[in-house]
Amino acid sequence: MTADTPFTHIGQPLPRKEDRRFLTGKGRYLDDVTLPGALQVTFVRSPHAHARITGIDAAAARALPGVVGVFTGRDLAQWTAPLRLAPPIEGLHPVEMTTLPVDKVRFHGDPVAVVVARDRYTAEDAAELVEVEYDPLPCAADTKTALAPNAPLVDDTLPDNLVSHQSFSAGDPAARRAEADRVVEARFDLHRLTHVPMETRGCLADWDAGRAHLTMHIGTQVPHPMRGQLAARLGISETQVTVISPDIGGGFGQKIALYREELTVAALSRHLGRPVRWREDRLENLTSASHARETQCVTRAAVRADGRILGLELDLTEDFGAYCFYPANYMARVIAMILTGPYKISDYAFDVKVVLTNKCGNGPMRAPMAITSWVMDGTIDAVARELGLDPLQVRRINALRPEDLPFTMPTGEVLEDVTPLETLEAAVQAIDVPAFRARQAQARDEGRLLGLGLCTVVESTTYGSAFYKAAGIPGSGHEAAWVRIEPSGVVNASVGLMGSGQGYETPLAQAVAEGLGVTPGTVNVHMGHTDIAPYGMGSRGARGATAGGGTLYLCAQKAQAKVLAIAASMLNLNDAQGLRLHNGQVERRLEDAWQATGISLTDVARRAYLDPTALPEGIDPGLDVSLTYDPPAMTYSNATHACEVEIDPATGRIRIDRYVVAEDCGTVLNPLVVKGQQQGAVAMGLSGALLEQVVYDENGQNQSATLADYLVATACELPNIEILPLHTPNRKTPAGIKGMAEGGIMGSIGAIAGAVSDALAPLGVTAEKMPLSPQRLRALLRKAGNFTHGTTFSDPGTTTTTHDTTTHGTPGNSDGRTNRA
């Protein structure tokens, strides 16, 4: 924050309150919560990608000592209602799923039965003894197969596997194509990923038969929607369910939906009258929790010779997997809506297809719209390449300028208080692009491959109710809070969010402290308990700061107004004009200075609670204030990422030499926490772009079921990230907060891809597919002409050599995946 900040506590880099318990092993995560007599479940999962269930024989499993029961989809169908998703969205098929499959499995890892036993070891032994007979069916392991005529139907109730299809056009893209000097086509293929929270899923369900009440301990980002889902699916009322979220070891979007396993555990607790718990193992988490991405995009940009984009068209296909825990267009829609982002484009069309396949179902993963900025800035880079222009100049000529704001994107989304050109110039200046180009040219002469990638991000952060309404998605973007000053003068507060490790407790206490006029240390923010917190929409997108912090800030201001009204009467003043609460003390403005009145918040609280007859007319006893707030339809943050890489041509290894992010996320509650989110998002984006990949073979068998196969980046693969903070407040939100924490994914995917393509430019190849693994890089290098070490690159187009790389024994040569590049 700048020195002239209007805030006392907002913007202070306070270390986090939750650290001490995590550092000393005293955090309380799901598996640390115990209940006497709790039973353990293990799921029996399908070894087939697609098969009829023709019989389940659990006799041997039931006979094992310590086993309480084995249950199947037929049992669960008696105890629970199916999930039906049928939002009124054109082109989206309604879908329905039972709690466990009854007659057909749809992916490798689909749960077919559940074993309940006295402990996990026994449950897993018993699961091995459950004999399931399958009649295997042909499978659709990719979108091409799934969309082919007579393809196997993933969902038997649908006419085909194209579960969602939407088209849109604004302006006249065809006319722009006709008048363009060139139409540049570019391709982007973002592979399948999964969230990998360090803590897997799990839950502990406790049915109290006497009260007919379910207490569900579960790490969830959205406690109240989770409560509503549990009640509806179990056929009980929301008054009969309490959801309690303990500390969460990471979520990243994987802990939003009510999954089938969790509903099964809740139903079993009710059926058996015992606490029942489930702890997912890592194999289950990688194969059966939730996947994400696997999106292919093609853009066609109609451009003038100077690089100005006149019109843009997008074709998008997403491989959604086998089940819809969300409306199938949920993630793809946002990509298409905000694609044009930082650029001044008005003629735009999209065609978005979402396809069911025999894989684990997709869900939102940190930045559901992750591919967006790669597609847009990658299109810019393609334009620059085809026209022989400087990619930086093509960005500048298309960039939204301050005078263009507020800018209505072709999809109707309104951008204001964003600074994409400023972040671009800040990042470019930090990198010193001319100096880099000189180094790059020299390196090419030495046979080394250096590249620079730029990616500007406009990140949709906070989704208000107006957005959901316009999108036809049921739900709301509002948030609710209460602030309670207790009789002793300390402050309890609550909001409907639930953090999954970001560190909400400190920045949200700062928002309350600012709004109320106390120190953050006296504020305790309670989250994750549906009987304590007000009904809120939980944590998703990047709404924590704007929706959560904003609501608490406004609620605390409302509480301060009541405190000051009481203080005014204590001071024998007619009204609270000229009074403020500052660090827990009531102060009065006299001439140009704030002066102490000798009245503290504790004095006011004592009067409000213990001497209410002394309160002024019209003031109710107590200091208990609640408030709801609905943010604007959408808030946006923006950033530019710049990434320098060097590629080792012999091994295909990418070394990141420098990584810079210039980011404008408005007013920040706590810059320490924000910086941690920015670094973490870039890291997750790079890890996904470089290493991680969910691999299915052509039979739909998951080949990446351990952390030795699904590679999450370690400290050796990730760079230090330089952050250049900008703080342009949003004029429509409380305190000017915008939110952030997903844009880092968007920018890093685009920046690393741009850097690799820039490095490979003299070879005439482009990185169109991820992950940018050594194998893929080697394949690209081979495609460029059996290239080997020692070649120089100063003269594009003349780099083909006659050497055969196979003699060098590089990693790509023995890898069967290299032909995918």
Partner 1 sequence: MSAPVPISLVVNGETYDLVAPPRKLLSDVLREDLHLTGTHVGCEHGVCGACTILIDGQPSRACLTYAVQMEGHELTTIEAVAEGDWLSPLQQALHEEHGLQCGFCTAGIVMTFEAYLRDNPQPSEAEVRDVLSGNLCRCTGYQNIVTAILKAAQVMREGQGA
Site for partner 1 in 190-209 (CB under 8 A): 196-200
| Site for partner 1 contains 63 (CB under 8 A) | no
| Site for partner 1 contains 672 (CB under 8 A) | yes
CA–CA separation, 223 and 512 (whole Å): 21
| Site for partner 1 contains 563 (CB under 8 A) | no
| Site for partner 1 contains 249 (CB under 8 A) | yes
| Site for partner 1 contains 574 (CB under 8 A) | no
Nearest of 345, 314, 265, 320 to residue 41 by alpha carbon: 265
| Site for partner 1 contains 703 (CB under 8 A) | no
| Site for partner 1 contains 344 (CB under 8 A) | no
| Site for partner 1 contains 253 (CB under 8 A) | no
Nearer to partner 1, 35 or 573 (CB): 35
Query: Nearest distance from residue 217's CB to partner 1, in Å?
Result: 14
SS (H, E, C) 596-639: EEEEEHHHHHHHHHHCHHHCCCCCCCCCEEEEEECCCCEEEEEE
Query: Nearest distance from residue 204's CB to partner 1, in Å?
Result: 14
CA–CA separation, 664 and 120 (whole Å): 48
| Site for partner 1 contains 715 (CB under 8 A) | yes
User: Which amino acid does the sequence have at 150?
Assistant: N
Choose which of 111, 246, 250, 253 interacts with partner 1 (CB under 8 A): 250
Nearer to partner 1, 83 or 115 (CB): 115
CA–CA separation, 278 and 120 (whole Å): 9
Write out the H or E segment, with its range, that includes residue 454: strand 449-463
| Site for partner 1 contains 128 (CB under 8 A) | no
Q: Burial code of 725-748, b = ≥16 C-beta within 10 A, e = fewer?
A: bbbbebeebbbbbbbbbbbbbbbb
What helix, strand, coil percent values describe the chain, rounded to 5?
A: 35, 25, 40
Query: Nearest distance from residue 290's CB to partner 1, in Å?
Result: 15
| Site for partner 1 contains 712 (CB under 8 A) | yes
Strand 213-218 and strand 241-244: the pairing is parallel
Which burial class, exposed, middle or buried, applies to 711 when counting CB atoms under 10 A from its CB (0-12, 13-18, 19+)? Answer: middle
| Site for partner 1 contains 683 (CB under 8 A) | yes
Query: Nearest distance from residue 10's CB to partner 1, in Å?
Result: 18
Select the span of 368-376, 611-619, 705-713, 725-733 touching partner 1 (CB under 8 A). 705-713
Nearest of 207, 202, 220, 299 to residue 256 by alpha carbon: 220
Query: What values do phi and psi take at 410, rounded to 5?
Result: -55, -25
Residue found under tokens 């020692």? 790
| Site for partner 1 contains 402 (CB under 8 A) | no
The strand pairing partners of 185, in sequence order, are 300
Site for partner 1 in 481-500 (CB under 8 A): 500
Nearer to partner 1, 61 or 633 (CB): 61
Select the span of 183-191, 440-448, 581-589, 681-689 touching partner 1 (CB under 8 A). 681-689
Two structure tokens written together for 419: 């600074």
| Site for partner 1 contains 179 (CB under 8 A) | no
Query: Nearest distance from residue 800's CB to partner 1, in Å?
Result: 37
Query: Nearest distance from residue 555's CB to partner 1, in Å?
Result: 26
CA–CA separation, 212 and 227 (whole Å): 15
| Site for partner 1 contains 2 (CB under 8 A) | no
* Four-CA torsion 784, 788, 790, 791, nearest 10 degrees: -20
The contact mask relative to partner 1 for 21-40 (x = CB under 8 A, - = no) is xxxxxxxxx-xx--------
Strand 202-208 and strand 213-218: the pairing is antiparallel
Site for partner 1 in 521-560 (CB under 8 A): none
| Site for partner 1 contains 155 (CB under 8 A) | no
Query: Nearest distance from residue 249's CB to partner 1, in Å?
Result: 3
Binding site for partner 1 (CB under 8 A): 15-16, 18-29, 31-32, 121, 125, 196-200, 247-250, 252, 281-282, 500-503, 672-673, 675-676, 679-680, 682-684, 706-708, 712, 714-716, 718, 720-721
